[in-house]
Chains A and B, each alone.
Chain A
Amino acid sequence: MVQEAEAIEARALEEIARAADPSDLEDIRIRYMGKNGDLTRVLRSVGKADPKDRPRIGQRVNQAKKTIGEALEARRAACEAGGESAAGALDVTLPGRPPPLGSKHPLTLIREEVTEIFRDMGFSVVDGPEVEWDYYNFEALNIPRDHPARDTQDTFYLGSDIVLRTHTSPVQVRVMEQQKPPVRVIVPGRTYRHENPDATHAFTFHQCEGLYVDKGVTMAQLKGDMTYFAQRLFGGKVKVRFLPDFFPFTEPSVQYDFSCVACGGVGCRICKYSGWLEISGAGMVDPAVFGFVDYDPEVYTGYAFGMGLDRLAMFKYGIDSIHMFLENDLRQLEGN
């Protein structure tokens, strides 16, 4: 009887595997496990066996019943999941069920990339308020009330001595007030300019500020570190160029450019056929700024730089309008 049960089991499993749809399976179930099914018959006859063999035989027959039952169930589930043709094969070309694709915003992606690179260089990431004292945004950065440089920093005011920060530089001062050198920080964050938006201007920007103060920090290091950063972000062929510039809080001050990441420097529409992309400003921290935070400029020197995360993201991800960032067109953002 054990052999009989085993044979029935093998036959049933084979038929189940060949079954094309649930009705076939139902036929098979009746044939083997129905009232007069083959296996049911064997089970009934266990009682007639020698009492000392009964447990062994019973166990085997019950096991066969269980195995067949599970195979039927599994096959039924497979058939009901759909996709199987009458011939039994899955139409693998039917559309799949995609999981919803989430995505982080390009400004988040670029901030994370930039942060990652500077952390590897030993920078720590800090932040500060967007609604800022005039003192931190201007005065302590060597931009007194009547300085003409304030004209280029069109400013939103909230009362006479509070502004929406026009750059992330005020955080430099806040950090130096709280920490003695060495200081090596970057400050990614949102900034504001009182400027009517047009094709190339917005009133909200995203910047990242950097500051490194210690004994013996040099302009050559600024250049070396910006080159390392540029090459990590855009690849090893990118070059960095410094042009003289002016900022009240750095001296000497430079504008720094990267060789065009789109054309490699030969000239294209993106770099306006100059081969260079203007990134932002940088320089050696002005001794006047050290004066506001009680650092001795004879002992310490430092470099500072800014960068527009919006611009970097445009270059990095091939975005051609600054307005893309805050427009939030999901057809563009989704799944990226």
Chain B
Amino acid sequence: MQEISIKVEEKLYQNRYMVDEGRPHISVKPHTKPSDALAALVKVCPAGCYTRNETGQVEIAPDGCLECGTCRIVCAATGDIEWNYPRGGYGILFKFG
């Protein structure tokens, strides 16, 4: 596969958000070893919200979340994450959509 370098953060930088400080709408449940589904989110989340920490757990920083719901559906069967819409009015604000 041809190598293309991309930085998702640069893409997100163009977007408008209203961040609900201190009230993340998604959280990962405590775990020692992530399930395959949870581990897959590190790549599959289109906003790159999921990362692996040094000790191997998956963490989320949902500030750049596009509210697509992909992670919710991928982990529906395993129950690895807690997912809600942001409070009304908060989150991504598409200018064009």
Instruction: Tell whether A pairs with B.
Output: no
